[in-house]
Amino acid sequence: MTHLPPPEEKARAVRAMFDRISPTYDRVNRLMTFGADQRWRMALVERLGISPADVVLDLACGTGDFAELCRARGALAIGLDFSRGMLERAAARSGETAAWVQGDALRLPFRDGAFTAAVSGFALRNFASIPPVLAELARVLEPGGRLGLLEVDRPRNPLIALGHRAYFERAVPVLGGLLADRDAYRYLPASAAYLPGEAEMVAMLREAGFHRIRKRRPMLGAIQSITAERR
């Protein structure tokens, strides 16, 4: 997959890609971000105030990074992903199988209000459509439930943006090709094109039923860390 797939093929193409790269996903992520991806996740979990009182959904959980951090704070965490390969890696890492669910973010297999918090990391650009995913997250969160989203972003400073594009759009595909799968690591930078701008993202969250929306921009604005609360 060397280009962005059309909407009707996106779900199939993305699932196949993540199945392919699942064996090397953790190692490549750590190398590409110099280990900072875990710090961003930890900071978001802390901002959400995850505690033993929480039941957390890790949406598009991949190999289970967010779920693992939430469990370390005493919470019950369930991970859901479209990719069987990613879930197998998550189960192998955690040593358990019951906490991982294969499913579609557009049709979450959970009852209304089942969770007190939900998190999702670097997944928004992989969904066929973002608004229905946010609506499903609102449905499965109890009133007052907290949401945390971590994604790439576009730095506002022109010089930083130039350096970010050089690394993200040129170096990442080359490194990804050497370490894992060239097509996948061409798609991942290009997929940022699917992300809405800040105002549109806020509007989507509000329309889905969230308020108290806050955004931080770590890594000099190259990452966005969003928190919100279910009305």
Q: How many Cα atoms sit within 13 Å of 189 on the Cβ side? A: 21
Residue with tokens 């879930």: 87
81 a known binding residue? yes
Q: Is 35 helix (H, G, I), strand (E, B) or coil?
A: coil
Q: Please say whether the beta carbons of 121 and 56 come within 8 A.
A: no
Bridging pattern class, strands 100-102 and 141-152 = unpaired
Measured over the CA atoms of residue 202, residue 11, residue 90 and residue 36, the dihedral's sign is negative
228 a known binding residue? no
H or E element, residue 165: helix 158-165
Beta-strand runs (E) in the chain: 55-59, 76-81, 100-102, 115-121, 141-152, 210-216, 223-230
First to last CA, the chain: 39
Distance CA 162, CA 53 (A): 43
Q: Is 50 helix (H, G, I), strand (E, B) or coil?
A: coil
105 a known binding residue? yes
227 a known binding residue? no
Q: Annotated binding residues for S-adenosyl-L-methionine, as ranges?
A: 63, 81, 104-105
Q: Annotated binding residues, as ranges?
A: 63, 81, 104-105
